[in-house]
Amino acid sequence: MRNVSPGRRRLTLAGQVLLLQLAVVAAVLLVVAVISFRQSTAAFTDERGSAMRSVAEYLAGGEVVRTAIDEPSATRTLAPFVERAVALSGATDVLVTDPDGTVIAAAEPSEVGTTLDLGESRVREGRGWSGDVEHDGRTYVTAHAPVIADDGTLVGIAVAEQAYPSWWDRIADSSTDLAPYLGLGALLGGLGTWAVSRLLKRRTRGLAGDEIATLADHRYALLHSIREGVVAVDNSGVVTVMNDAARRLLGVTGDPVGQPLDALGLDAALTEVIGGDAETRDAVVLTGDRVLVVNRRAASSRGLGIGGVTTMRDRTDVVEVEQQLSSNLSITDALRAQTHEFANRLHTISGLVELGEYDELASLLGTLTRERAVLDASLRDAVRDPAVAALLAAKVSQAAEAGLDLRIHPSSHVPALEPDLAADLTTVLGNLVDNAVDACRGGAGREVAVRLTEIDGTIEVVVSDDGPGVPDEIAGSIFSRGFSTKPEVLGGRGIGLPLVRLIATRRGGSATLDPGGPGATFRVRLPLVGGAA
């Protein structure tokens, strides 16, 4: 599945995530270092700014400074005080100026006589001030304090300033405590990143990101191109996968992924299979106008159940053909029964001839002729369609072989039908009669009655028996069950009555069970012109 060109190996998704996470860790460490540097700078400003204010205020409040600042020897007189302030505070420079900013005394003698730029300071108004000042290419944290004479006049300005350390010095200063934490953070981040990448590598089978995307695209294309329907649900019954074939078979519109299975409006029997816990193999479910063969298996990942996957195939046409073949086979069975019956009668006739009982022979032949004539005449008059008439004749013989009486109601009348309608009618009639005969076997009943009539462009089929009937608890679901796990499921038991309703529904008719008893009465209506056969 991988497609790596020679000499060029692409990084796996785990490798890409590893590099990305390492980059994130490095970025976080850089941000932490910047924040620490800024905090160190702010701490220096606060600490040294306070110290500079104290130095300036101390110098400005000194008696000697206030009285000697106007004297001609002020530079020499104030120099010791300035030098002592520098020594005690660690300031870069301490100055005393006149009110105009001309330097009178300074720690650096060359500055005497120069003019100090007071900038935004409001010290001339008699207020102390502190802040950052730049000169000679460096930044200083500076404090100004007014020198006030005894009469309250401003006679000078005391200045204390300290240069900010260089960037490198500040980094070195902040890294004293920061370095161990940054190192520990980098170590933990690297180990965590490595662990995540290893886990991701196992989960992704060492594939690269584009390979995973390609696999997902292939999976999507394959899933939606197969003709079988595929439905997956999780443990809570929420649909996680449903391909196009499944949506078509189930009649689901829109996107069902993420919706509860119960909210899709599916038949209860189908919902039970898809959302159940049991494994299902080749179960037949009738939903709408389709016969589906359904298989379900539980899905698991690393030994944990994650839901179930159901596949389904449309076998509507196959089932209908098999049911029609079943009707033809029943005719064959009837012919076999008739052959057996005729053989027995021929043996009887042969015996009467050998015994010379000609009067008895004549009576028997007359009885047999009348019985056959009556049956043929009743079928010929009631049923004009040859296929339906042949099926009824076959069913009469089958019922007789089972010891039952199959009666054709005198009011029955069926015209010649179109081939597709005749095929559907024989399938419906064959299933209903077979069910009735089965219900009466073993002495549970003796008679099956069939009535076929044409009413307002609709063929009505009524098949009743005097058997035990249908229990009330299943009367409402016999047409919709359709489950069978027998090997002969297609065309086997469990699908006859649901198939009858399916055929009736597709033709725009109906199939119902009359309430009450005794026995059971099924009523099916098939329009002469209507839905697809």
Residue 291 · residue 284 · CB < 8 Å: yes
What is the CATH code for 226-314? 3.30.450.20
pLDDT for residue 48: 80
Residue 73 has pLDDT above 70, yes or no: yes
The residue among 372 and 154 whose pLDDT is bigger is: 154
- What H or E segment, with its residue span, contains residue 314? strand 304-314
Q: Which of 2-6, 63-67, 178-182, 440-444 comes out lowest in average pLDDT?
A: 2-6
Place of tokens 């002592």: 84
> Which residues have a Cβ under 8 Å from the Cβ of 514 and sit 6 or more positions away?
464, 520, 521, 522, 523
Range from 331-335, 362-366, 439-443 that averages highest in pLDDT: 439-443
pLDDT for residue 492: 43
Residue 90 has pLDDT above 70, yes or no: yes
DSSP 234: -
Residue 96 · residue 75 · CB < 8 Å: no
Give residue-wise pLDDT tens across range 154-198.
Answer: 888 989 888 887 766 666 655 555 667 666 766 776 777 677 767
| Alpha carbon distance 456, 311 (integer Å) | 43
pLDDT for residue 269: 75
pLDDT, mean of residues 205-215: 61
CATH of 14-169, one of 3.90.79.10, 3.40.190.10, 3.30.450.20, 1.10.1040.10: 3.30.450.20
Query: Looking at the whole model, is its pTM more than 0.75?
Result: no
Neighbours of 238 (CB within 10 A): 18
Residue 241 has pLDDT above 80, yes or no: yes
Ranges in the chain annotated CATH 3.30.450.20: 14-169, 226-314
Per-residue pLDDT band at 494 (split at 50, 70, 90)? low
The residue among 76 and 178 whose pLDDT is bigger is: 76
CATH 1.10.1200.10 fits 351-527, yes or no: no
| Alpha carbon distance 311, 134 (integer Å) | 80
Give residue-wise pLDDT tens across range 373-398.
Answer: 455 556 766 788 888 888 887 788 77
Residue 78 has pLDDT above 90, yes or no: no
pLDDT for residue 463: 93
Q: What angle do CA 277, 280, 285 make, to 5 degrees?
A: 110
In the numeric block, which tokens belong to residue 438? 């089965």
Residue 162 · residue 92 · CB < 8 Å: yes
| Alpha carbon distance 210, 219 (integer Å) | 14
> Which residues have a Cβ under 8 Å from the Cβ of 160 and sit 6 or more positions away?
51, 52, 53, 55, 56, 59, 85, 89, 91, 93, 94, 95, 142, 143
Q: Report the chain's mean pLDDT, rounded to a whole number.
A: 76
| Alpha carbon distance 104, 98 (integer Å) | 7
